[in-house]
Structure 1
């Protein structure tokens, strides 16, 4: 019997892969547009077409086009703080206990903000949301693959300067096909030399070797990693190194990483003992919530509470926080799942 949506809503969740600019609620988009004096189309349908990807998206690049309009709204410290606060608020509706919100500071410099000002504004919003909604929240900084390697190096250095101030790691995001991990080897090395935890987007585009290469270069976690299903020769290496995989089902279908549930590897990876987690990726662009993602997987694979408990534990394991915080999160997860088991 499929786990009910009511039980799913009560599950304690850890979200490790959520993009700020892809996850802002419609209500807050309206506020931001007003603040920035940027007109929105008249109808809701036209508005949503600007920033929600259709279910039948052609590929990753078409999916990424939906970020352009939102990017224009996020060019001031007030806008960035409000957006970050909004994402934490949404996470609280999914009973998320810990969230890492990622963003690329270089995409928010159109009006002259410095990278430090951008990061400070986002962290301020996350911490305000943490206090108000009780969701422990941190930031991950992304280098963008379509930008020069020097930009990613600069972002890594900013991440290091903020590591004890709400920033917990570094990522590379964007066009993985044309810019595989080794194209950014220099930036990744800088991040590793600075002791910055790394989660790199890889394996989102039928390129399983990118997952392996990202880990060889130093990634602690992998954003998506779906293409591992086509390169089984790397699976044992990923498992042995306890690499956490950040899966996002709706997004993975939209970007054509997979086209059917038969080929989606979530349950296979879970059964093999890989450390899989469930994430939204982009709440707004993918028109989803974490509860929806859990419900979808529960229905397709007839998952048990034990399966979801494992997913939450994997999230705690992969979180870029110290051992003391992990212990606290682990205790919360154990306690809340024990209550659900008692139902």
Structure 2
């Protein structure tokens, strides 16, 4: 049985495996620019974040109906359960869908159909986080939040993703202020390709409660001390960092140093279909590459539940934490 864990940094569109992409393309009459699943999988080799994003957005063309989004989420949940996930906080990118004529309702209702039965079918509790594309305008983000208002009973929080460089968090101050007014939880990608200052800005300007990635905080000792003191969770994605050339090789990942600095770091999979592994694969990879002890791995799992948006269900959080503490490697 795998170590129980929560996954807090997972883009549902990034779980689109080649086999499902081809199945949905056939169902929806979409022609993919690849002849076989093997050829498509070969395309999952990236030189940087932008080269990944180009393919990532292109493949979304196969997602058209609520049933497509349900199938996508079900496929992820089945894989996640097999790797020990007990709680998943799932990102989705509505602007990438509404821009091509797919409505907010189609996306949310399709995902919700899978998430509503996730606990019964897979033993996984879930939360849904709507992300704004930072390379789109602030006005577009505000319009997206407005379009989401009929569905806020299904949406726990907002996030900020896509191309980071040149798009500082402060650009989205207004939409985050409105999200806070609506009672939504707030997270943001920062400090992946962007500088450590983006992490500070996400905290101080956007009022985020978690930082997604945040690797480059290690370039700023004062910021590291603050993150440790305030127990700000960081949702690291090690295999993603290697695949997108954020770091050269997994053995040079700063995760161990971040743990030693007292940071509340978690391990996640980001876009696992594209980056070579789901969350359990990430745990196994960093344990081997960084020679982590069993207790350090247990700490990572403990952190994942501590950082989860389970404030409305503390008995569940306590139950998950107990599973981690009694787990036998």
Sort the TM-score into its range (normalised by shorter chain). Answer: over 0.9
Q: CA deviation at 1:147?
A: 1.4
Structure 2: gaps (5+ residues):
none
Q: CA deviation at 1:284?
A: 0.6
Q: What is the CA–CA distance in structure 1 between the aligned matches of 2:117 and 2:59, rounded to whole Å?
A: 22
1:181-235 deviation digits (Å, cap 9, x = unpaired): 1111222222222221111000011511101110112010011001111122211
Q: CA deviation at 1:160?
A: 5.6
Q: What is the CA–CA distance in structure 1 between the aligned matches of 2:220 and 2:327, rounded to whole Å?
A: 39
Aligned to 1:191: 179
Determine which of 18, 24, 27 is the counterpart of 1:26. 18
User: Is residue 2:28 matched to residue 1:39?
Assistant: no
Q: Residue 10 and residue 263 in structure 1: after superposition, are their counterparts in 2 closer, same or farther (change >3 A)? A: closer
| Superposed structure 1 runs of 4+ greater than 6 Å apart | none
Note the 1:161-240 alignment, pairs <5 A.
Answer: 161-165=150-154, 167-217=155-205, 218-240=207-229
Q: CA deviation at 1:253?
A: 1.6
Aligned to 1:250: 239
Task: Point out the more displaced range, 254-263 or 238-247.
Answer: 254-263
Q: CA deviation at 1:287?
A: 2.1
Aligned to 1:77: 66
1:14-67 deviation digits (Å, cap 9, x = unpaired): 1000111111233322321122112343333312134x2x2xx32211121220
Give the aligned CA root-mean-square deviation in angstroms: 2.0
Q: CA deviation at 1:315?
A: 1.3
Q: What is the CA–CA distance in structure 2 between the aligned matches of 1:188 and 1:107, rounded to whole Å?
A: 19
Q: Residue 200 and residue 336 in structure 1: after superposition, are their counterparts in 2 closer, same or farther (change >3 A)? A: closer
Aligned residues: 327
Q: Residue 159 and residue 316 in structure 1: after superposition, are their counterparts in 2 closer, same or farther (change >3 A)? A: farther
CA contact (8 A) 1:297 1:303 kept: yes
Q: What is the CA–CA distance in structure 1 between the aligned matches of 2:87 and 2:325, rounded to whole Å?
A: 16
Q: CA deviation at 1:90?
A: 1.5
CA contact (8 A) 1:61 1:175 kept: yes
Q: Output the TM-score relative to the length of structure 2.
A: 0.92
CA contact (8 A) 1:204 1:227 kept: yes
Q: Residue 130 and residue 26 in structure 1: after superposition, are their counterparts in 2 closer, same or farther (change >3 A)? A: farther
Q: Output the TM-score relative to the length of structure 1.
A: 0.88
Aligned to 1:270: 259
CA contact (8 A) 2:188 2:212 kept: yes
Q: What secondary structure is seen at the aligned counterpart in 2 of 1:285? A: helix
CA contact (8 A) 1:99 1:136 kept: yes
Q: What secondary structure is seen at the aligned counterpart in 2 of 1:198? A: strand
User: Is residue 2:98 matched to residue 1:106?
Assistant: no
1:257-312 deviation digits (Å, cap 9, x = unpaired): 22244642101111111110000001111121212111111112222222122112
Q: What secondary structure is seen at the aligned counterpart in 1 of 2:140? A: helix
CA contact (8 A) 2:18 2:40 kept: no
CA contact (8 A) 2:57 2:96 kept: no
Q: What secondary structure is seen at the aligned counterpart in 2 of 1:14? A: strand
Aligned to 2:2: 10
Q: What is the CA–CA distance in structure 1 between the aligned matches of 2:21 and 2:120, rounded to whole Å?
A: 22
